[in-house]
Amino acid sequence: MKAVDKRLDALWSELVKLRAGNKCEVCKITRNLNSHHVYSRAKMSVRWQVINGYCLCVNHHIGVKFSAHKSPNDFAEWSKKDRGQSWFDLLSAQANTISKLHVFEKELLAKELKKEIDKYK
């Protein structure tokens, strides 16, 4: 993976957690947190879009019966109720576009994410 992609992944993850108040968005626990992509990281059009992320404890990410990876359909339905159908429709529309960012565009995006992170600190 390119260094800039790794940096973007780390910035995206940090911002997702900060926006959620460093709490699992399902159970509000504050430890063992992960940043979960609603649409897979393979969907480059939304890979680093914060609206494509949830802050989840490890249990709600990959562990318990109701988790983003063990019950993705249930999690998708829950997320629509949590954030609303309009959020889901916007995210779906963005996810179904084609996107290929050049290195300079990724660098600009990294600066934007860092700027957003700095607002929380």
Summarize pLDDT for 72-118 with one digit per residue, the tens: 999 999 999 999 999 999 999 999 999 899 999 999 999 999 999 99
Total domains, the chain: 1
pLDDT in tens, 5-15: 999 999 999 99
Domain encompassing residue 27: 3-120
pLDDT at 65: 87
- Residue from 47, 32, 38, 22 nearest 117 by CA: 22
**pTM (predicted TM-score):** 0.93
Using CA atoms, how far apart are residues 102 and 93, in angstroms rounded to an integer? 22
Task: Give the integer Cα–Cα distance in Å for 58 and 60.
Answer: 6
The pLDDT assigned to 1 comes to 59
